[in-house]
Amino acid sequence: MGKMPENIHPIFDTFLNRDSKEKLLEQTAKVIWLTGLSGSGKSSIAKGLERELYERGFLTIVLDGDKVRGGINDNLGFSDPDRKENIRRVAEVAKLFLNCGVITICCFVSPTNEIREQAKDIVGKDDFIEVFVNATIEECEQRDVKGLYAKARRGEITDFTGINSPYEIPQHPDIEVKTKNKSLEQSVGEVLTFILPHIKGTFERDEI
């Protein structure tokens, strides 16, 4: 193969960086990490938040516990080591989307401070927004459409957070949403109001 002429400078040997993709999407990517007990409302808030952001022109993706455990993490159980590995993989996936400029909404029980810190360390603390969806066990059991709490209390499910496995209250969440006596729209609105300043950017498209 002949020598490349000096006036030819190849530009296709490097990956586009995150800034370029954020500029294309006209948004600042963040990982929005919703933590809370099963049935606290994480997934419902995530769906509402996704819709609100979509209507405002933001590109998002939602990573939900049930979907992830039915796919890339279908070989994991609910032991402490498996929970840690579950969250480690999720955080790594979230970071990939983050680096593509996509606002990534994660809804996972992520029951311990250690696990949540692990996720934050992987993603990067400046890009990680921790949302504590605060609902009592009583509220969660009332909303338990899957009957998981009842099964856990009967001993049919082991290592179930809140019943026979602990949930550690987040020490320093970026925002806490107390869902008691609030509509879903109110809870979504609280999160939306908090994150909008973090994901808006001042971008100008290049003229072509």
Q: Which of 110, 165, 183, 187 is catalytic?
A: 110
d(CA 128, CA 92): 12
Structure tokens at 123: 């993603």
DSSP string, 65-79: HHHHHTTTTTT--SS
Q: Collapse the DSSP code of 129 into the 3-class scheme (helix H, G, I; strand E, B; otherwise coil) and give the result.
A: strand
165 is catalytic: no
Beta strands in 48-174 (DSSP E): 60-64, 103-107, 128-134
Distance (Å) of CA 160 to CA 76, 101, 154, 156: 14, 35, 11, 10
Structure tokens at 205: 């498209």
Q: Which residues pair with 35 in a beta bridge?
A: 132
Among candidates 93, 53, 51, 52, which has minimal Cα distance to 69? 93
- Give the phi and the psi of residue 42 in degrees, each rounded to 5: -55, -50
CB distance 152 to 78 below 8 Å: no
Q: Catalytic amino acids?
A: 110
